[in-house]
Amino acid sequence: MPEKKRGGGRHPAAAAMELTTSLGPETVPAEFWGEDTPPVARALLSSAVQCFARKGFHATTTRDITTVVGLSPGSLYVHFPSKEAVLFRIARTGHERALAELRAQPDDGDPRSHIRRLVAGHVSWHARHHTVARVCQYELAALEPEHHGEILGLRQQFSATMQAVVERGVREGAFDVPDIDRAVRAILSLGIDLVRWYRLDGADSPEALGESYAELAARMLGSPGGPQA
């Protein structure tokens, strides 16, 4: 199916290149979606992130998503089988990127410094990509059951990664935690809740917020004097 330009509109490829100048203070880098994603599909995904974040999945139309990239509403289906498939791609990519950031934090053998790095990385990623993360957190109910189950599987890996470090710290006497499951949920919520209010043009950079929250997490675990990451 050929892609149709809206009357008098820009060519989709040109719109894709210009999209980052029209989406506000947080833009989605083209490489976020992967090198195997065509430029127009990347532009549609980035446009959908903004639309879903502003209006919610159900209130967003295909016309809302395609208008920014100069395409007719039906052109979305050249790249995605449905609007739900667009949301799933956003949610899967966002969770995979955030999980990769978490797992990339080095482990020096000390659970106190390791947990600080994990929290700092988790928080700073969510701050840096807060609009994508907001869609990932608050629009999941719109996913089809199979897609929803896949995302839940990714989310469980966040908990497992963090919990393994906290359990090791408890065994080694580095942490004093009466309920590990609750502690892990509380720590993860530090990175998740900020997507409701964080702004890149605010007082705290993603890195500064990450370091601050890492200190809070250490204190939550009974480790105020742990070594700095």
Distance CA 113, CA 159 (A): 18
Distance CA 51, CA 78 (A): 19
Up-side HSE of residue 87: CA atoms within 13 Å toward CB?
Answer: 26
Considering the entire predicted model, what is its pTM?
Answer: 0.84
User: Which pLDDT does position 202 carry in this prediction?
Assistant: 87
User: Which pLDDT does position 223 carry in this prediction?
Assistant: 64
First to last CA, the chain: 53
Q: Residue 59: is it exposed, middle or buried by C-beta count within 10 angstroms (0-12/13-18/19+)? A: exposed
Up-side HSE of residue 8: CA atoms within 13 Å toward CB?
Answer: 0
> What letter would DSSP give residue 69?
T
Nearest to 192 by CA among 229, 143, 151, 158: 158
User: Which pLDDT does position 26 carry in this prediction?
Assistant: 59
What are the start-end ranges of the H helices in 104-144?
A: 111-128, 130-138
Tokens 């100069």 sit on residue:
70
| 210, 129, 192, 177: CA torsion to nearest 10 | -30
Which regions of the chain are under pLDDT 50?
A: 1-25, 224-229
